[in-house]
Structure 1
Amino acid sequence: MPIHCFDQSISLPSVDENHNNTDYTLCRYDENDWIFTLLPVYILIISVLGIILNVFVLMIYWLHKTACNVAEIYLSNLAAAHLFLMSSLPFWAVNVQKRYDWNLSETLCKLVPFSISMNADCSIYILVLVSIDRYLTLVHPLTHGRMRSPFYAKLACVVVWAVCFLLNVPVLIYREVEHYPEKNVSRCFLSYSDQTDKVVSILNVILKFIIPIFIMSFCTLKIIQAVRSRLRERFSTQGKEQKATTLILAVLLAFLICWVPFHVFKILDLLSRYNIVGGCEFRLGWFQQIFIFLAFFNSVLNPILYVCVGRNFRRKVKETFSQISNRRKSTFSLLTTCANLSRSVKTENATS
């Protein structure tokens, strides 16, 4: 039975007992591997940055005087998924630092991977919604205009959260802690059979990579064609939509850069387990370990893109801080007026 770090089927080379000794000798890693020292520090850094930056994004959308439009509803849900994901990573940083010796409760063994996997899935499918929204806006602006309302955007987000929750229920059911007395360690792993694990891995690749990438790629190509067509026609009446589209394309590109390497190695690992391609399955597992945390850096990168690329977001930031400043000034003015009135009343009472 293979032991897994994540729901994404990342094998632990130190405890996987289904491989022959030859493979283990060829692919063995040093016990003092740098992955156990540098990776936890990296995870903690991106966790802190991700929490701060995504809280900032959510506060701007929440405090701004105007309601969110359709694109902003999707981006705020994306920030929420990133925030929950980043909040769960410190637990896994501790687990990596302890060489995957799980010292926490079995409840956390279920909840932490569930939160990581579910919110990663939510971020992927919310990006699918974002790309579909941009596609409808630019390619079919008239025929599907009614579908682009805040109500339908919120409903779509609720459906995505619900579906991603259901997809990850098996993590809550099959995650468990098992103690290995001969090594004096406890592992948090998915208790699938080897055959079930392979089926789940194939479904994960299809549902969490191939289908979303196909939809996003199709929509992105159509969006780029529509933008070029409008530029050729000098159609500038949709300047606001153009700015939003630039931000969305940057977010989609960042997603591809961060997530594709992990899924490529995951597919190679799956093909290796079926003996379709040769290679070291342990080494592929470690590459997955590294690239999954590169993928999580996407949660830090998106808020930075909002500020650097999103003109509308920068405007909202300025307006929000202006609102807060004006409220403070009005509150201070009110307190000063009350204090002056109180002094004048006391003075009149004293003189009378």
Structure 2
Amino acid sequence: MQSATAHIICHESEAWDWLYTMQPVFMYVICVLGILGNVFVLMVFCLHKNACTVAEIYLGNLAAADLLMMSCLPFWAINVANSFEWQFGSLMCRLVNTGIKMNMFCSVYFLVLVSADRYVALAHAMTYGRMRRPWYAKLSCLAVWCLGVLLSIPALKFREVKLIPEYSVTACILNYPTREIELACDILLILLGFIIPVSVISFCTCKIIKALHWRVMDRFNVVKKERKATVLVLAVLIAFLLCWVPFHLVTLLDILLRSKVLSGCALEHGLDICNQIFTYLALSNSVLNPILYVIVGKNFRTKVKELHSSTRKSFTS
């Protein structure tokens, strides 16, 4: 999440008034919905009597990453409502933004894992099926969390609370020591946080759709449980792309602007507004996933019913 103080030359202050009223309310709403939804998902996966499948391990970790994001949002809601005057100190400035960056990286790589798992389950079950074991899945999730921490180091190192004289606020901003480091970090975000993982996801998704088509045609080989899980995964992948692609496209244009490939105050002002809008569209993805589990995930709904029945029996007995 970038600060609204990123560019200070071309801003029209009147255009930012809506930030201080509309966006905090929006963030509070998605924060409450996101925490409730993702806690619910984690409770279902953790408390159900049956062990989680490989896909559920990945989706559970995705819910944990979304929960991390939602726990950071109230700080930014208060920050925006106070015209970006940061009130929580330097340490929280670093930790909150590190948590947000971790969600950004971890979420996309958990989706890489879950899309690769669906691809193997449907297209190469006989060849690589032994790799689809819960133990391997847990190790893969641990590796993703470590990668998320590693890629979030720039946010931890370069975020600081600094006075912005042009706006008379003490804001939590990214303050890179040089333009070269700033550009390198932005390119890292685009490559490792978007282009590479989304390319892998897109490849796996195309293969998954193709495999589903052939399995529908050849009903003797259809594994209903795998197909049900795959439909849920596809819905989660599509929601992720719809929410995050606009954010990364604006980030790419912002890099081109700061590299002087593009120029113009109108473009700069428009990108700053779009960055705010698409940032909160991306945040909404953390609320959508639990809803998709309930609407699309037949196996998840079955688990919810079984958990509800066992809970009722334990209370009545």
* Cα 1:31/1:281, change in 2 over 3 Å: closer
* Partner SS, residue 161 of structure 2: strand
**How far is the alpha carbon of 1:281 from its aligned partner?**
1.7
**How far is the alpha carbon of 1:180 from its aligned partner?**
4.2
The corresponding residue for 1:205 is 190
The corresponding residue for 1:223 is 208
The code of the aligned residue for 1:325 comes to R
Distance 2:123 2:312 in 1: 41
The corresponding residue for 2:240 is 255
The code of the aligned residue for 1:261 comes to P
The answer to whether 1:41 aligns with 2:25 is yes
* Partner SS, residue 267 of structure 1: helix
* Cα 1:181/1:210, change in 2 over 3 Å: closer
- From 244, 254, 264, the equivalent of 2:249 is 264
Q: Deviations over 1:174-232 (max 9, x none)?
A: 21111246754211112202222112111110110100110000000000011101111
Unaligned residue ranges in structure 1 (runs of 5+): 1-5, 331-352
Which of the two has higher C-alpha Rg?
1
* Partner SS, residue 16 of structure 1: coil
- From 14, 39, 42, the equivalent of 1:55 is 39
TM-score (norm 2): 0.95
Unaligned residue ranges in structure 2 (runs of 5+): none
> Which stretch has the larger CA shift, 145-154 or 92-101?
92-101
Correspondence 1:112-151 to 2 at 5 A: 112-151=96-135
Distance 1:157 1:300 in 2: 21
* Cα 1:111/1:289, change in 2 over 3 Å: same
Q: Deviations over 1:119-157 (max 9, x none)?
A: 221111100100110111111111101100000000000
Distance 1:262 1:228 in 2: 32
Distance 1:222 1:278 in 2: 40
* Partner SS, residue 121 of structure 1: helix
Question: Of Structure 1 and Structure 2, which has the larger fraction of its residues in helix?
Answer: 2
Correspondence 1:1-352 to 2 at 5 A: 6=1, 10=2, 12-13=4-5, 16-17=7-8, 19=9, 24=10, 27-30=11-14, 33-180=17-164, 183-192=167-176, 193-235=178-220, 237-279=222-264, 280-330=267-317
Percent of residue pairs identical: 51
* Cα 1:181/1:197, change in 2 over 3 Å: closer
Is the CA contact 2:104–2:193 (under 8 Å) kept in the aligned structure 1?
no
* Partner SS, residue 189 of structure 1: strand
The corresponding residue for 1:350 is none
The corresponding residue for 1:342 is none
* Cα 1:272/1:184, change in 2 over 3 Å: closer
RMSD of equivalent CA atoms: 1.6
Distance 1:264 1:179 in 2: 29
- Work out the number of aligned pairs and report it: 314
The code of the aligned residue for 1:289 comes to Q
TM-score (norm 1): 0.86
The code of the aligned residue for 1:262 comes to F
Is the CA contact 1:12–1:282 (under 8 Å) kept in the aligned structure 2?
no
**How far is the alpha carbon of 1:102 from its aligned partner?**
0.9
> Which stretch has the larger CA shift, 43-52 or 280-289?
280-289
Q: Deviations over 1:42-66 (max 9, x none)?
A: 0110000000010001111111111
Distance 1:217 1:182 in 2: 43
* Cα 1:194/1:50, change in 2 over 3 Å: same
Distance 1:191 1:153 in 2: 37
Distance 1:325 1:236 in 2: 38
**How far is the alpha carbon of 1:329 from its aligned partner?**
1.2
